[in-house]
Amino acid sequence: MVLYFIGLGLSDEKDISVRGLEIVRRAERVYLEAYTSILMISHEKLEEFYGRPVIVADRTLVEQDADSILCSADTLDIAFLVVGDPFGATTHSDLLLRARSANIPTRTIHNASIMNAIGAVGLQLYNYGQTVSMVFFTEAWRPTSFYDRVKENRHVGLHTLVLLDIKVKEESWEDIALGRGGKGRFNKPRYMTVAQCAEQMLEVEETRGEKVYTPRSLAVGVSRLGSEDQRIVAGTLEQLSTADLGTPLHSLVLLGSRVHELEIDFIREFAIDKDIFNAAYHEEYGKEDGDKAM
Amino acid sequence: MVLYFIGLGLSDEKDISVRGLEIVRRAERVYLEAYTSILMISHEKLEEFYGRPVIVADRTLVEQDADSILCSADTLDIAFLVVGDPFGATTHSDLLLRARSANIPTRTIHNASIMNAIGAVGLQLYNYGQTVSMVFFTEAWRPTSFYDRVKENRHVGLHTLVLLDIKVKEESWEDIALGRGGKGRFNKPRYMTVAQCAEQMLEVEETRGEKVYTPRSLAVGVSRLGSEDQRIVAGTLEQLSTADLGTPLHSLVLLGSRVHELEIDFIREFAIDKDIFNAAYHEEYGKEDGDKAM
């Protein structure tokens, strides 16, 4: 039969496609990938909506016990649910390749992911460069590789989508410090906010000092994209570093210099302060097309 | 009430989300945007599935008679259906801005679009640069602006998604030549194939000669992405310029030099000829990371 990779979309149980739901209801086993992303509803609500049990697949299961997922997939339909799209920010090519080498047919049921739904903020998708990820900085680990990629995008004048870190099932620091790792005790999930992201970006610009962007560079913060209470906020990185966009998930887009006047008209509606927005726009992005930033 | 922008996804009537379908069934009027994209099924099949009439919205209606779409949207729910995602390759910001200025609330129900579902070919979405469009060349009009953008992506080592032209509701050339335009007689729709796209790309490289890519550069062609009979084919641009991927829609991805070995392992399965694929890979992309192309 078939191993189905089914995208759940962005927000809640009703974002699944009609086709996806049909497959979930008739599949032999249903797994929910739950370590790279989160849905804004509970596992129980999902089971209730589907009218059937859903097995939560954490990283250990998918990476170390993939055979149990694939078990009897040659004779039965198996559904593997992924928040967003199965081949969005995180791909599940490993599981797909295992299925392929076991001669199990696969099919993907696509859905919206942050990678295309971000279009809703009003910046044209084809004006985006490569997507970057921002991780939680720690005392010891403050990686700046994102900065090089943003630099490449900004050099050409393109927008940059920044995906923000989430930490689910992190082992408790206390356990790790006391050498008691692997006990299955976990910290509460943590989700990076737009404010934290903007702050880290500004810190790295300060350190690296290559003028890839400034505190006055314009960006758009978005939270709970696709849900009824999604929020979109536009402003300078400095403004965003103190903006409160509420509960997760958050994402950020840094504007490129090729931004079109129509895009600006669209996002001005979301400005924290229209005067600051307009001033910052004229300072850095000017009025003509072309490569002005950097 | 609300003007809903509802994404239909990639393939047929069952790709709509459960939430989208609920809204369609209860909305006062339902429009289908039918000039920038096509669904792989008929308008009638859609009406049958929804159990209600669907008004086809061509370019004239949306751009010149938007008021009729917005009419009474302040008191009734209106649904505006868009193939793919409403803010995918083509955005409908104009209609949204009109609604905004008339104080009509809007909401977007996202879905998969080519911009994220292209992840299914096995190249990581965050390794893509800006997306480009390829139009049908005519005797008089052979625009090469796409080439400059591909150059920017290739310079950094990123993949490029090329969206291929579709011509729907083109006025008949005969009518235009005889000065009988505007009669509403249209040519059959035309959809660019992967082969035509690869051929035009090679022609422009020949003319411009900036070695942005060569006939041996690797690319992936895809047709009917997301449908049960989707096809994915990998090979050199030269090979793709004679490949037959069947019925529309087609898209193409040109590989960037930063391609990862795992991505190559994934797409090798789709190679027209594995030996040619491997040889072309080692010629241009080598084994190390970094900027080798260009």
Give the one of A113, A133, A156 whose C-beta lies nearest to B116's C-beta: A113
* pLDDT per position as a tens digit, A23-74: 999 999 999 987 766 777 788 899 999 999 999 988 788 888 888 999 988 8
Residue of A nearest to B126 (CA): A131
Distance CA B228, CA A158 (A): 35
User: Does the beta-carbon distance from B119 to A14 stay under 8 Å?
Assistant: no
Which residues of chain B make contact with A156, given a CB cutoff of 8 A? 129-130, 152, 156
Mutate to test the interface with A, among B110, B134, B260 (most CBs of A within 10 A): B110
B210 sits in which H/E element:
none
User: Does the beta-carbon distance from B110 to A125 stay under 8 Å?
Assistant: no
Task: Decide if pLDDT at A182 tops 80.
Answer: no
Cα of B183 to nearest chain A Cα, Å: 33
Domain boundaries B115-284, CATH class: alpha beta
Distance CA A129, CA A179 (A): 42
Residue of B nearest to A118 (CA): B87
Residue of A nearest to B16 (CA): A17
CB B262, CB A93: distance < 8 Å? yes
Distance CA A128, CA A113 (A): 15
Residue B171's pLDDT is 58
User: Does the beta-carbon distance from B14 to A17 stay under 8 Å?
Assistant: yes
Give the one of A100, A120, A127 whose C-beta lies nearest to B87's C-beta: A120
Mutate to test the interface with B, among A125, A132, A228, A270 (most CBs of B within 10 A): A125
**High-pLDDT (> 70) share of chain B, %:** 89
Give the A:B interface size as CB pairs under 8 Å. 158
ipTM, 2 dp = 0.91
User: Does the beta-carbon distance from B113 to A116 stay under 8 Å?
Assistant: yes
Task: Decide if pLDDT at B294 tops 60.
Answer: no
Mutate to test the interface with A, among B25, B126, B160 (most CBs of A within 10 A): B126
Which residues of chain B make contact with A119, given a CB cutoff of 8 A? 85-88, 91, 115
Distance CA A88, CA A131 (A): 11
User: Does the beta-carbon distance from A111 to B115 stay under 8 Å?
Assistant: no
Give the one of B18, B120, B228 whose C-beta lies nearest to A16's C-beta: B18
* Fold of the domain built from segment(s) A3-112: Cobalt-precorrin-4 Transmethylase; domain 1 (3.40.1010)
For residue B283, how many other CB atoms are within 10 A of its CB? 13
The tokens describing B137, both together, are 């060349």
Cα of A17 to nearest chain B Cα, Å: 4
**Can you list the positions of beta strands (E) in chain B?**
3-7, 29-33, 55-57, 78-82, 106-109, 132-134, 160-164, 166-167, 190-191, 218-223, 231-236, 250-254
Does the predicted TM-score (pTM) go above 0.90? Answer: yes
Start-to-end CA distance of chain A, whole Å, equals: 54
Q: Where are the domains of chain A?
A: 3-112, 115-284
Task: Decide if pLDDT at B117 tops 50.
Answer: yes
Distance CA A211, CA A216 (A): 11
* pLDDT per position as a tens digit, A85-117: 998 766 677 888 899 999 999 999 999 999 999
Give the one of B13, B17, B22 whose C-beta lies nearest to A9's C-beta: B17
List own/partner pairs for A29-32 with CB under 8 A and 24 or more apart. Answer: A29/A55, A29/A69, A29/A76, A29/A78, A29/A79, A30/A54, A30/A55, A30/A78, A30/A79, A30/A81, A31/A55, A31/A56, A31/A57, A31/A61, A31/A69, A31/A78, A31/A79, A31/A80, A31/A81, A32/A56, A32/A57, A32/A81
- Lowest model confidence (mean pLDDT) among A4-18, A164-178, A180-194: A164-178
Residue A177's pLDDT is 61
Task: Decide if pLDDT at A258 tops 90.
Answer: yes
Mean pLDDT along residues A232-247 = 98
Mean pLDDT along residues B203-215 = 98
Give the one of B16, B112, B124 whose C-beta lies nearest to A18's C-beta: B16
Cα of A87 to nearest chain B Cα, Å: 5
Give the one of B130, B133, B262 whose C-beta lies nearest to A128's C-beta: B130
